[in-house]
Amino acid sequence: MGNALVDMMIRIEHEQVFDEFGLLKGGMRLVDAAIIDRLLARLKPLPVEIATGGSAANTMYGLGKLGIETSFIGKVAADDMGKFMTEDMLKSRIQPRLLQGIEPTGIALALVTPDSERTFAVNLGCAIELSPEDIDAEMFEGYDIFHIEGYLVQNKELLDKALHLAKEAGAKVSFDLASFDVVEENLAYLKSIIARYVDILFANEDEARAFSGLGPEKALMEISKTVPVTIIKTGDKGSLISDGNQIYKIGVIPATSIDTTGAGDLYAAGFLYGLVKALPMEICGKIGALLAGKVIGVLGAKMKDDTWEEIKIELNKLV
């Protein structure tokens, strides 16, 4: 479950636009539709690529491409972007549970700098209209893992109910911290729900530091005191995994980075694939690294079918 968003990706050469629009490089700022329009007008000469997005939806996309049965709960409008998202999910083997909202479908505008870093201006649109009343126990029945993104922390009642329903249905809870600024703004609440509900936690280095005040290795040890499986992604250095008993250091695959959009989401997809297949923890991490390494070679979080065929060949070598 997550914010159902359509990604609009633009490569930029200069960072001046960040100062102009109050954006923090590498971060995510929630904005209204007018600012999205102004940004698009400001960057009008540059080409725009459009794809379905949202952190949790990207992870379901990766799992679907690997043949895992998935579903996605979110809210879109009865507009062209909402129709685009529904059709794209079906093509990607995701069963869309997309409820209809009032405001337009949400937009995530990703500005990609030459160092492959992405900075987001996000208008949640009707994604934020998803409410506790929209979800019920039936939506969670029959699933082994419930994966949720930290961006939903803006609706704590929804998040509380979803986590409770997932546990009641017997699913393990997988949680992605999403963004360091989200963690900083909601630290006490996140610590509470993670200790109570979360079985698998994904964080990057900045998010782990915001959550624990510690560097990656010490953060891993601290978080794993309450979370059974903790993953901290450390960029081009790889990732660290703790299952409570052992720490695994996972490297990266050789890759030319074009855009880091979706790298963490696809890492999560690969890792969760390994868990679903009951593979060793180290192999789960290596599958995550494989998907992350492949997706940074393209703009956005979607890869072509021939790239997925390459991934499956490499995956067979790992397992």
pLDDT score for 280: 97
* pLDDT at site 4: 92
Closest CA to 305 of 54, 59, 94, 61: 61
pLDDT at 290: 97
Q: Which of 135, 130, 206, 141 is nearest to 168 (CA)?
A: 141
The pLDDT, as a whole number, for residue 258 is 84
Asked whether the beta carbons of 155 and 130 are under 8 A apart, the reply is yes
Judge contact between 86 and 76, C-beta under 8 A. yes
CA distance 185 to 166: 25
Helix (H) or strand (E) holding 100: strand 94-100
Contact assessment for residue 190 and residue 212, using Cβ atoms and an 8 Å cutoff: no
Q: Where are the domains of the chain?
A: 5-318
User: Residue 265 to residues 61, 117, 271: CA-CA distances in angstroms?
Assistant: 9, 15, 10
Which pTM does this prediction carry?
Answer: 0.89
Q: What are phi and psi of 130, to 5 degrees?
A: -60, 125
Per-residue pLDDT, 179: 87
Distance of alpha carbon 21 from alpha carbon 35, whole angstroms: 8
Q: Are 238 and 252 in contact (CB under 8 A)?
A: yes
The pLDDT score that the predictor gives to residue 229 is 98
Burial of 310 (0-12, 13-18, 19+ CB in 10 A): middle
* CA distances from residue 37 to 7, 21, 24, 41, 128 in whole angstroms, order as listed: 14, 12, 19, 6, 19
Using one digit for the tens of pLDDT, what is the confidence trace for 233-278?
A: 999 999 999 999 999 999 999 988 888 878 999 999 999 999 999 9
CATH of domain 5-318: 3.40.1190.20
